[in-house]
Amino acid sequence: MNSRSVLVTGAGGFIGGHLVGRLLQDGARVRAVDIKPLERWYQVHEQAENLEADLRLREACYGAADGIDDIYNLAADMGGMGFIEGNKAACMLSVLINTHMLDAARWCEAERFFYASSACVYAADKQSSPQVMPLREPDAYPAMPEDGYGWEKLFSERMCRHFTEDFGLETRIARYHNVYGPHGSFEGGREKAPAAICRKVAEAKLSGTHEIEVWGDGQQTRSFTFIDDCVEGTIRIMDSNVSEPLNVGSSELVTINELIDAVEEIAGVGVERRNDLGAPQGVRGRNSDNTLIRAALDWAPMIPLAEGLEPTYRWIHNQLVHRVVV
């Protein structure tokens, strides 16, 4: 990267922490910014310039972007389905971050701006069956995204497009599909399904109860993307000439029950499943069509679920064990 100056917002979060590490490894000079106090960041990289700032504020965005070549905007108030279904207004307020960061990017004459969007932008009527057809990028329209969080993401995508058209700012957009891995949230309400299942199975094993609660009937389907593929896709999109949104997601479709099966195999334990049909479940099925990203970048996420779950489960299990020991 020839020591390019790079800003990563949301750097104290799960994906942001991994991205900062990769950019530093690639030789970039990284400014890492998050609203959380440094001691609450999932990963802190000492080689980066680590700053605490509220990027919902315009002045904070201008300060963060000053002197920066490339901006990776990952900052958002978000979490798993349990969080976004109950916090629609909070999720939509994240539009302040993208609005001010785009404006700051234009002001500081950044060369490129990356926006972390989500598969939640896709129309709900295309995700009503577990046997869902893989979602293609054009399937975001006619617009019917996830209420709250999905609308904010889709609106911010459009804003990126118009900043490119009207101001010449080079923008890049990835639609992340269910990213998982170590060094992320696994409890407290913001965790996503793979981390939640890993935690529940680990707790069941450690406690000897051998029972877990499952949201829904377990037949809902998803594709889950390991963090290494997510970071690789993010950097490849940023370095590409593709200004349209691209899926960054695995195409390996599994049911939630199959996800649990895989975690049980890794943990070496079987668990009884207690289904909560009233819990938040999101859409019935979601999978990523990777035709466009393959054509554009000659690459697509490739890490199998079983391979990515291994380090994810081990890390979460160790966090729980360490807590008990301490």
In the block, residue with structure tokens 């030789």: 27
Radius of gyration of the chain (CA): 19
Q: What torsion, rounded to 10 degrees, do the Cα atoms 32, 36, 40, 41 define?
A: -20
Cα separation, 284 vs 228, whole angstroms: 26
Catalytic residue status for 141: no
CA distances from 291 to 137, 172, 238, 251, 295 (A): 9, 18, 18, 10, 6
Q: Which helix (H) or strand (E) holds 98?
A: helix 95-107
Side chain identity at residue 162, one-letter code: H
Of the residues 122, 149, 176, 313, only one is catalytic, namely 149
51, two tokens: 């700053």
For 155, left (φ over 0), alpha (ψ -120 to 50), or beta? alpha
285 DSSP 8-state letter: B
Q: Which helix (H) or strand (E) holds 221?
A: strand 221-223
Closest by alpha carbon to 157, among 232, 95, 79, 241? 95
Closest by alpha carbon to 155, among 111, 97, 107? 97
The SS3 assignment for 130 reads: coil
76, two tokens: 């958002």
Q: What torsion, rounded to 10 degrees, do the Cα atoms 291, 292, 294, 298 define?
A: 150
Q: Which sequence positions are flagged as catalytic?
A: 149
